[in-house]
Amino acid sequence: MMLAAVYLFGIDGAAVLHLERNLPLPSNSTSIEQLTARDRARHERILRGSTAVHGVVSFPVYGSADANIFGLYYTTINLGSPPREFKVVIDTGSDVLWVMSNTCVNCPRSSNLQIQPTFFDTTASSTARVIPCTHKDCAPFNRSGTAWCPRSDQCGYTIRYLDSSATSGVYVKDEFHFDSLLPGSRIANSSSAPIVFGVSTYQSGHLIDTNNVADGILGFGRGDLSVPSQLSSRGLIPRVFAHCLKGDGMGGGTFVLGKILEQGITYTPLTPNKQLYFVNLQSIAVNGDMLAVDPVVFTNRGTFFDTGTTYAYLVDEAYNPFVNAVTAVVSQSAAPAMREGFQCYLVDVSVSQLFPAMTLNFAGGASLVLKPEEYLVQSVVSLDPAGMWCLGVGKHPKLTILGELVLKDKIFEYDLVHQQIGWTHFNCSSTPNVSVSREYFVNSVRSRLSTCAGLLPLAISTYAFLFVI
């Protein structure tokens, strides 16, 4: 799946990518059922554990980058009064949070679904208010003409994603529940704040797949409409968050609002004036050898990090040099083969012994080093490491998109105060140290500067997660 919103790329974005439909789709519902049952058990353990944490603003993470399982990571959020829980895909590649409406025409709801979806019922939440379609109320949500008026008392929207799926519905303002941690405080304060989100009445594309276990999408992009922007602009959450997506087996991981205190994080600047987490990729090396690619191809339309995309995509001009370099390294011991347009290799030993490292070099000297399992996918999932492996890196006409395949098994920190993104390899089953300091809160920065001129040390609360995996 590729859930970066098309309007962020201009209209030609809609036509660009059908590649990922050729990749393996989730196949066996039995395994999904087993996995989600285990996930639910894990969820209960995590919830019990997290109540003991000192005010962590964190969300549980489920799902996996493995397309044979689900292909995306998701979390649970609580909306409305009384609060109801929704499973939503964590998507740094779009801005809007939406969940399915109980009046949805074609949302997945048949009895053969493995997990019954939860639908948002505007009439059942005492605090829900539909945004009317006046200019004052609706215009702030009309990014690139995505808003329209199904009725005069409803501000509607249509969002298209890069994989040509789409959703439409109406904007609603209602309570979003979260645990807030004020700077200097070590006590979690369960609170809620009104935010604007979409309630979808129509879906198309991947969004109607019956193996889609999510009730909606949590837009975590950089734009004004995203949940972190709505909450952090009011000083309710810090302007820094991080994820650690566990790659093997069951998937899952950590998604937290706070600054990571682990060693070895390297940062690259976010590029200015972009809605998403765009960075400057400068070069790619395979087996330590730099590909002969003009760096301008990466910065032309850009390179961005996207948890809403399952695989990775290289801009057209870099794709063939990359494939050729990998093939040259392994051709003695792996038989190249094409499968549905993808470059694959038949191997008889583990790919980690055979394939080279892939290194992405970014502005500021930060490198992302990928092991073979972080850019290859097994075409039929099996415990036997031999067999057919395919590059999980597709070709895109304009963009370079770094999706979950390359993001997993590392901590990624998105620091919007210093406009940078950083990462380090990390075992996502263990518990990263996180801090929350005043400088990351919009309102606190102002009051601190006016009262103590920054001379006092910042109050920092540090804690380890108590996740029980």
Ligand X SMILES: *[C@@H]1O[C@H](CO)[C@@H](O)[C@H](O)[C@H]1NC(C)=O
Helix ranges (H only) for 213-272 are 227-232
Q: By rule CB under 6 A, what count of residues binds ligand X?
A: 14
Residue 18 Cβ vs ligand X, minimum distance, rounded to whole Å: 24
Binding residues among 256-295 for ligand X as defined by CB under 6 A: none
* CA torsion through residues 407, 408, 410, 414, sign: positive
Edge to edge, the sheet with strand 335-339 lists 335-339, 342-347, 387-391, 376-378
Q: Which of 79, 138, 405, 434 binds ligand X (CB under 6 A)?
A: 138
Of the residues 1, 115, 159, 182, which one makes contact with ligand X according to CB under 6 A: 182
CA atoms within 13 A on the CB side of 338: 3
Minimal CB distance to ligand X: which residue?
A: 145
Distance CA(188)–CA(54), nearest Å, equals 6
- Which residues from 114-133 bind ligand X, rule CB under 6 A? 133
Catalytic residue, chosen from 66, 91, 215, 409, is 91
CA gap 108, 116 in Å, rounded:
9
φ/ψ (deg, to 5) at 366 = -85, 135
Residue 152 found at the interface with ligand X (CB under 6 A):
no
Binding to ligand X (CB under 6 A) within 25-44 occurs at: 27-28, 30
In the complex with ligand X, the residue whose CB is nearer, 54 or 418, is: 54
308: DSSP letter:
T
Residue 334 and residue 153: Cα distance in Å, rounded? 62
Residue of 66, 95, 179, 306 marked catalytic: 306
Q: Which C-beta is closer to ligand X: that of 28 or that of 353? A: 28
**Candidate residues 149, 261, 291, 388; the one interacting with ligand X per rule CB under 6 A:** 149
> Taking the C-alpha atoms of 422, 426, 430 and 434 in order, what is their torsion angle to the nearest 10 degrees?
-20
Q: How far is the CB of 34 from ligand X (least distance, A)?
A: 9
46 touches ligand X by CB under 6 A: no
- CA distance linking residue 428 with residue 206, whole number of Å: 28
Instruction: Please spell the DSSP secondary structure of 89-153, one letter per residue.
Output: EEETT----EEEBTT-SSSS--TT-SS----B-GGG-TT-EEPP-SHHHHGGG-GGG-EEEEETT
Residue nearer to ligand X on the CB measure, 30 or 263: 30
Q: Binding of ligand X at residue 112 (CB under 6 A)? A: no
Task: Provide the mask over 190-209, with x wherever binding to ligand X is found by CB under 6 A and - wherever it is not.
Answer: -x------------------
Segment lying near ligand X (by CB under 6 A), choices 137-145, 219-227, 306-314, 427-435: 137-145
Q: Using CA atoms, how far apart are residues 173 and 275, in angstroms rounded to an integer?
A: 22
Q: Which is nearer to ligand X, 68 or 165 (CB)?
A: 68
Nearer to ligand X, 145 or 457 (CB): 145
Q: What's the one-letter identity of residue 140? A: P
91 belongs to the catalytic site? yes
Question: Rounded distance, CA 118 to CA 128, Å?
Answer: 16
Q: Applying CB under 6 A, which of residues 145, 272, 288, 457 lies at the interface with ligand X?
A: 145
Q: Does 137 qualify as catalytic in the annotation?
A: no
Shortest distance, CB of residue 79 to ligand X, whole angstroms?
16
CA angle 186, 175, 46 (to 5 degrees): 50
Which residue matches tokens 């490198």? 367
Residues that bind ligand X (CB under 6 A): 27-28, 30, 133, 138-139, 142, 145, 147-149, 182, 189, 191
* Residues acting as catalytic residues: 91, 306
